[in-house]
Chain A
Amino acid sequence: MNKLLYPKLAASNISKNRRTYFPYIITCIITVAVFYIVRSLSLNPGLRNIRGDRYVSEMMGLACWIVGIFALVFLFYTNSFLMKRRRREFGLFNILGMEKRHISKVVAFESLYIFLLSASVGTALGIALDKLMFLLITKAVEGDIVFGFFISPNAIMTTVILFAVIFFIVFLNSLRHIHISKPIELLKSGSVGEKEPKSKLLIAILGIICLFAGYYISISTKDIISAITFFFLAVILVIIGTYFIFTSGSIALLKLLRRNKKYYYKTSHFLSVSGMIYRMKQNAVGLANICVLSTAVLVMLSSTTALMAGEETALHNMYPYEINVQTSSKESLNSFSNDVQELIEGEGHKVEKKDTVCCLSVAAVCRGESFEVTKPGNFGDLNSLNNLVFLSLDEYNRLMGEGKTLNKNEILLYSGDDKYNYNTLSVFDKNYEIKEKLKNISDICNSPVVSSYTTRYIVLPDENELEYINKMQQEVYGDDASRLSYILGIDFNGSEEQKREIYAEALELTGNMHTDYVITNRTNGKDSLYPMIASFFFLGIFLGTLFIMATILIIYYKQISEGYEDKERYEIMQRVGVSNDEIKKSIHSQILTVFFLPIITAGVHTAFAFPIITRLLLMFNLSDTALSAVCTVICFAVFALFYAAIYLITARSYYKIVSK
């Protein structure tokens, strides 16, 4: 046989199947480009050392793995779809006298072409966008801008090798498809009548249970440790629930509608309900895929944008002042405070704000209006764990510049965002009247609590009361007891560089404190917090891009394969006397339902995921729920717009096929 036959045939096959292959190739190219970018960023020396931190590099290294695995799974999946569509074509080749090994050869050439095309174009695109991404990241972490292109030969190599391996595995899968096919079957495939799907009520109910269990976890989890532990459980439950409900629940519901004769035998319902049963059987898994991917995109993007948008709040929550000191001795704090102030003013800066406080922070389990202090490990339900911060009325009045008074057994309470619905509060067997619920409290009191539990500030009438509480908690906790903390916070003006220098000098002064202490400063904290948040954000963007692309492709393929199937049904209906209008109306309503079902479900999932996500964001000290809500809504709106655009485009190719 002519040597050029196979390469030529392969090329013409791709161009003949361009309706399905073109999007596939685009997908390959984008996947390659994203992988290259991520890999190159992880190697980029400009990101290696942003003031000693390697978050970005390390995070991008992690992203490499995720993108690589995603690429394998996704390209494998799409290729399987393409191969199934081409069964008939292979059958025809077979009958025309080509043996399976000849077909395999042709497919080998096809794979080679697609690999070469996507590897070269993808890498080129990656190199082009790499610089842009680098600049965006450096800007986000406020690092130093490095000019000039960074082209990593190492990244190019890794990309080419990885995708060579992936395409080879995908090619092996194509061979399997060709091998298991029988020519007769091949020619007939498609014309075999479709079976009516069985409704599996049990699975549908199981799906609903899983879904609500997942939702429940998200809503009910109050503390961060449980949030981290149960987040993945909730995700898995919701995914299982989604698949079960889409595959079985939808069909069970439709069949229920069909059983209702009065409803079912109405012109409009008759065509739609039966059409939907048929469609759901074909597409339930595809729709569930779309729904899960969309949810992933939404959750990822909304949480990372919330992080990004709230990074300043997070930083201030973590470091209420530029320099924060916490120690257990009043004297050393006072002398240190004076030393630092001298230092700052000696360097020619102005102290803008300086506060000190003495308070006691104790963990307690909240049971309605009574708080139990038990040994750690006996907390039981982490959800009801609270952080109680006690301070005396004198301290409070001094800090806030107020002149409040309290009788014995009266307290003031500040609960932050959390509501406290009772008028009394009891702790250590003492019952206090709450004289007033405070609207706010000085920043300095935030310092001892980096915890993500609900924190309540309790202002006690006098020092004796504070001493009593202190003694009681020492009895319970023994060696683990907290101590009275003396806290100092100082803000001063100056550039970031100057602030770092002063901090370094202040560190030396700590040698004079002959006691234990914790000292932090905001500028250095920012240097490690921002890159971490930025790397999460960009991870979200990269994975979001890939997932969105996967969603688009699955939707597109679904529309095309439905188009070819509906075409025949459409023709039959026309002959039997269904008017074009009626057909169009029914098709339109079905497509709309099928199309928007996943995104509406994804929206509901995201809404229910919101509580647990806000808990997880507390890990980064981001407590701004309103901001997170706004970010989520915006992400959903943008995604929905995107989705509607995909709908318009793919619906067009659908109608083209159907009405040809």
Chain B
Amino acid sequence: MPILEVKNLKKIYTTRFGGNRVLALSNVSFSVESGEYVAIMGESGSGKTTLLNIIAALDKPTEGEVFLDGKSLSKVKEKEISAFRRENLGFVFQDFNLLDNFSVKDNIFLPLVLSGKSYAEMNLYVQPLAEMLEISDLLDKFPYEISGGQKQRAAVARALITQPRLILADEPTGALDSRATDGLLKIFSKINNDGQTVLMVTHSVKAASHANRVMFIKDGEVYHQIYRGSSSDNEMYQKITDSLTIISTGGADDE
């Protein structure tokens, strides 16, 4: 059974004053198997963030359904949605979203504190994670005291500490320089090798080339997919660039 199944998603935004309706997603269906590393690419405004928000139950689809481990998100009660999100999903955002008023350690602890774990238990979880992400020395610092790459690794630690079923990342490398990007991508590959399922939205071909599968979204639909198969990162990189060229010229034909 796939870990994530998205069926015929449609999302229409209506602006507050009624008038404008924006079709952000028209008909999106795909599924993600356990242990996969999937990248989603697409032009700005193609609906990637919208898709991720719906998968994360932060937003509701106009039509269609999302299943996580075979359970429909629409069946989860409103009251339990936060706990559900906390226990099953981990998030990594472009702008890190660390809270200023917490130390790095407390930021990482946040989801566990909410689940009522004891301090000793939390400490046990955080040690190996911090070592893997090389942030052991930073745990007692505050977000304003560390670099962007370090912030993003802290955010990854926060996403992983609950051992979620699925990691959702929205342009996680968007605010990082190339060295920090490489570091983060390595971490994603590593956790994926350890069995973690990852779904990542990205504009960067380099980031996408680390994934097992790349999905292209255009005009609110899944337009094209490529699988890594046995190709190396470099071959994958080539495949993605080729597809992007075809899509953009093909897109020109469509209009």
Chain A: interface residue total (CB-CB under 8 A): 27
Q: Which of A192, A275, A574, A578 contacts B58 (CB 8 A)?
A: A574
Q: Which residues in A have their C-beta under 8 angstroms from that of B158? A: 576
- A493 adjacent to chain B (CB < 8 Å): no
- B114 adjacent to chain A (CB < 8 Å): yes
Kindly state the separation between the CA atoms of A581 and B78 in the bound complex, as whole angstroms: 11
The answer to whether B99 touches A270 (Cβ under 8 A) is no
The answer to whether B85 touches A577 (Cβ under 8 A) is yes
The answer to whether B144 touches A267 (Cβ under 8 A) is no
Kindly state the separation between the CA atoms of A274 and B119 in the bound complex, as whole angstroms: 16
Secondary structure class of chain A's binding surface, majority of residues: helix
Closest to B93 in A: A575
Closest to A569 in B: B99
The answer to whether A193 touches B144 (Cβ under 8 A) is yes
Closest to A273 in B: B101
Q: Which residues in A have their C-beta under 8 angstroms from that of B116? A: 267
Closest to B53 in A: A575
- B60 adjacent to chain A (CB < 8 Å): no
Kindly state the separation between the CA atoms of A275 and B158 in the bound complex, as whole angstroms: 19
The answer to whether B83 touches A572 (Cβ under 8 A) is no
Q: Which of B101, B111, B113, B144 has the most CB of A within 10 A?
A: B101
The answer to whether B114 touches A578 (Cβ under 8 A) is yes
- B243 adjacent to chain A (CB < 8 Å): no
The answer to whether A576 touches B91 (Cβ under 8 A) is yes
Q: Which of B56, B81, B86, B100 contacts A194 (CB 8 A)?
A: B100
Question: Which one of B32-40, B102-110, B207-215 contacts A?
Answer: B102-110
A191 to chain B, nearest CB (A): 9
Q: Which residues in B have their C-beta under 8 angstroms from that of A572? A: 97-99
Kindly state the separation between the CA atoms of A562 and B110 in the bound complex, as whole angstroms: 22
B108 to chain A, nearest CB (A): 10
A580 to chain B, nearest CB (A): 7
Kindly state the separation between the CA atoms of A5 and B15 in the bound complex, as whole angstroms: 32
Give residues of chain B (80-99) contacting chain A, Cβ–Cβ below 8 Å. 81-83, 85-87, 89, 91, 93, 97-99
Kindly state the separation between the CA atoms of A274 and B106 in the bound complex, as whole angstroms: 10
B169 to chain A, nearest CB (A): 12
A304 to chain B, nearest CB (A): 43
Kindly state the separation between the CA atoms of A580 and B116 in the bound complex, as whole angstroms: 17
B19 to chain A, nearest CB (A): 19
A204 to chain B, nearest CB (A): 20
The answer to whether A577 touches B114 (Cβ under 8 A) is yes
A275 to chain B, nearest CB (A): 6
For chain B, give the interface size range.
Answer: 20 to 34
A266 to chain B, nearest CB (A): 8
Kindly state the separation between the CA atoms of A275 and B110 in the bound complex, as whole angstroms: 13
- B143 adjacent to chain A (CB < 8 Å): yes
- B79 adjacent to chain A (CB < 8 Å): yes
Q: Which residues in A have their C-beta under 8 angstroms from that of B97? A: 572, 575-576
- A573 adjacent to chain B (CB < 8 Å): yes
Kindly state the separation between the CA atoms of A267 and B111 in the bound complex, as whole angstroms: 10
Q: Which residues in B have their C-beta under 8 angstroms from that of A576? A: 86, 91, 97, 110-111, 158
- B125 adjacent to chain A (CB < 8 Å): no
Kindly state the separation between the CA atoms of A266 and B111 in the bound complex, as whole angstroms: 12
The answer to whether A193 touches B79 (Cβ under 8 A) is no
A466 to chain B, nearest CB (A): 76
Kindly state the separation between the CA atoms of A171 and B118 in the bound complex, as whole angstroms: 56
The answer to whether B102 touches A274 (Cβ under 8 A) is yes
- A265 adjacent to chain B (CB < 8 Å): yes
A581 to chain B, nearest CB (A): 8
The answer to whether B101 touches A275 (Cβ under 8 A) is yes
Closest to B89 in A: A577
Closest to B56 in A: A575
Give residues of chain A (559-609) contacting chain B, Cβ–Cβ below 8 Å. 569, 572-582
The answer to whether B83 touches A579 (Cβ under 8 A) is yes
- A655 adjacent to chain B (CB < 8 Å): no
User: Given A274-B106, A569-B99, A577–B144 Cβ distance below 8 Å?
Assistant: no
The answer to whether A262 touches B119 (Cβ under 8 A) is yes
The answer to whether B113 touches A265 (Cβ under 8 A) is yes
- A430 adjacent to chain B (CB < 8 Å): no
Give residues of chain B (114-138) contacting chain A, Cβ–Cβ below 8 Å. 114, 116, 118-119, 122
- A278 adjacent to chain B (CB < 8 Å): yes
- B67 adjacent to chain A (CB < 8 Å): no
The answer to whether B119 touches A261 (Cβ under 8 A) is yes
- A50 adjacent to chain B (CB < 8 Å): no
Kindly state the separation between the CA atoms of A575 and B118 in the bound complex, as whole angstroms: 22
Q: Which residues in B have their C-beta under 8 angstroms from that of A575? A: 56, 58, 91, 93, 97
The answer to whether B82 touches A578 (Cβ under 8 A) is yes
The answer to whether B142 touches A196 (Cβ under 8 A) is yes
- A408 adjacent to chain B (CB < 8 Å): no
Q: Which residues in B have their C-beta under 8 angstroms from that of A577? A: 82-83, 85-87, 89, 111, 114
Kindly state the separation between the CA atoms of A576 and B116 in the bound complex, as whole angstroms: 15
Kindly state the separation between the CA atoms of A471 and B58 in the bound complex, as whole angstroms: 95
Kindly state the separation between the CA atoms of A577 and B79 in the bound complex, as whole angstroms: 12
Q: Which residues in B have their C-beta under 8 angstroms from that of A277? A: 101
- A195 adjacent to chain B (CB < 8 Å): yes
Give residues of chain A (229-284) contacting chain B, Cβ–Cβ below 8 Å. 261-262, 265-267, 270, 274-275, 277-278
B205 to chain A, nearest CB (A): 27
Residues of B within 8 A of A (CB): 56, 58, 79, 81-83, 85-87, 89, 91, 93, 97-102, 106, 109-111, 113-114, 116, 118-119, 122, 142-144, 158
18 contacts between A and B (CB under 8 A): A194-B100, A195-B142, A265-B113, A265-B118, A265-B119, A265-B122, A267-B114, A270-B113, A569-B100, A574-B82, A575-B58, A575-B91, A575-B93, A576-B158, A577-B86, A577-B87, A578-B82, A579-B82
Residues of A within 8 A of B (CB): 192-196, 261-262, 265-267, 270, 274-275, 277-278, 569, 572-582
Excluding A569-B99, A574-B82, A575-B56, 10 further A-B contacts by CB distance (< 8 Å) are A192-B144, A194-B101, A195-B142, A265-B109, A266-B113, A274-B99, A274-B101, A278-B101, A576-B110, A577-B85
7 closest A-B pairs by CB: A577-B86, A193-B144, A579-B82, A278-B101, A572-B97, A261-B119, A274-B101
